[in-house]
Amino acid sequence: MKLEIPDGEFAGYIFDLDGTLVDTMPLHYQAWDAAMRDAGLKVTLDEELFYSLGGVPTLRVAELIAKHYGLTIDPHRVFHVKESHFKELQGNAALIEPVVEVARRVAKTHPVAIASGGPRDVVRRSLELAGLAPMFKVVVSADDVVHGKPSPDMFLLAARQMGVEPTECLVFEDAEPGMRAAEAAGMKWVRVASRR
């Protein structure tokens, strides 16, 4: 994987987690497929639909998938079922080495942060299982903001907690909502091709 990093000096670096640092997206897909079937979905969850929602907070994903298929669901119940399935699979995730390598390098000299649409406990556990938790002192999750990606709120909060101006941050993202959020925050971004 070749990362196209824009020229310039950056004071802080913000990383999405799922599909950016850790290859969890196929595991999330399996968990969503199981949870939506449990909620009444009679077909296999469309992968394109799932990947188009990358970075969107989990509760909102449940609502959007249900709407797409015309299902009436309790989003909180589906959320909990999905997270339960994901936690069973979580230990199987591999690191996305080119991005992890960048994170390790820049963390030696600059503040780094996580900005993930996942719930805080799942994000923390993913970082711990991947051995990345000690590197990230700043972790922003869906639990920390009212509006998730594509709103800029997560990235702005991460910049504030790092003590860095938003325009001086570089974001690493694999999903369109996250890239739009980075732009809305006034940040440059690097696309991570998470789907191989």
Q: Which of 16, 18, 23, 33 is catalytic?
A: 16
Nearest to 140 by CA among 155, 128, 151: 155
- Give me the residues paired with residue 15 across strands: 114, 172
> What's the gap between Cα 156 and its chain centre?
15
Has 16 been annotated as catalytic? Answer: yes
List all residues 6 or more positions away from 15 whose beta carbon is below 8 Å from its beta carbon.
21, 99, 103, 112, 113, 114, 115, 136, 171, 172
- 113, β-bridge pairs: 14, 138
Round to whole Å and give the CA distance between 82 and 29. 10
The sign of the CA dihedral 10, 14, 20, 22 is positive
Q: CA triplet 37, 38, 40: central angle to 5 degrees?
A: 65
For the annotated catalytic residues, the residue numbers are 16
